[in-house]
Amino acid sequence: MLELAGLAGALRGRLEAKHEARERALRESRHAIRCSANAIRATHRDDREEALALLSEADAALRAARAACAGHPEVEFAGFIFDAQKEYAEARTTFAIVTGQPLPAPEDLDMRDAAWLNGLAETVGELRRHLLDVLRSGRLERGEDLLEAMDDIYALLVTIDFPEGVTGGLRRSTDVARAIIERTRGDLTNALVQAQLRDALDAHRTDLLGDP
């Protein structure tokens, strides 16, 4: 008869520890994602205090998630922490660009380069949203600044020429960013042309009627 009782007990203990680590890390990762999404919304509302509080909460949740995985690297690299880091990077870079602050580097956020790059790529979509809000308020110069920032991001992304296994699927994110930028360029161009036409018509009316 094989004496499996002792082995089974040790195996069960290790698997239970791994399961608990996974459950805690998954819970903290989901919390980080929620906080990051809410921070982006607060950024678009120009509620900087709320955005910073949520970003701090997301950072704490990510640190707790990684701490839960100590001794369980297969749990840490299962994918869900990477997704949470990506969302956090997107929130932090969106906040930085919208508020005119320097971009945080991957090491500033204590995350893997691939997560940071994918988060940066997804920032392009949030910048488009902010740019459209800016256009509605008539701030065309600010719109041009935002489009330039989007172009700068894309210029960086296309230089990252490594296998998808290294970059975490960055090529697809880069392609999506390019499509978003082109649509945004068209929207901004139309807005600029309309503004120029409106100014020309106003000037012509003034010449004809002498209106102030």
Mark out the alpha helices in the chain (DSSP H runs): 5-44, 48-68, 73-76, 80-99, 106-109, 113-136, 140-157, 164-167, 170-209
Statement: 113-212 belongs to CATH 1.20.58.2140: yes
pLDDT digits (tens, 9 = 90+) for 80-138: 999 999 999 999 999 999 999 999 999 999 999 999 999 999 999 999 999 999 888 88
pTM here is 0.86
- Please count the other Cβ atoms lying within 10 Å of the Cβ belonging to residue 197: 10
Residues of the chain with CATH 1.20.58.2140: 113-212
pLDDT score at 201: 61
How many residues make up the chain in this entry? 212
Give the pair of three-digit tokens for residue 33.
């994602």
Cβ 147 vs Cβ 185: under 8 Å:
yes
The domain made up of 18-98+107-111 has a fold known as: Methane Monooxygenase Hydroxylase; Chain G, domain 1 (1.20.58)
pLDDT digits (tens, 9 = 90+) for 123-163: 999 999 999 998 888 888 899 999 999 999 999 999 999 99
Q: Please spell the DSSP secondary structure of 41-65, one letter per residue.
A: HHHHTT-HHHHHHHHHHHHHHHHHH
DSSP state for residue 79 in the 8-state scheme: S
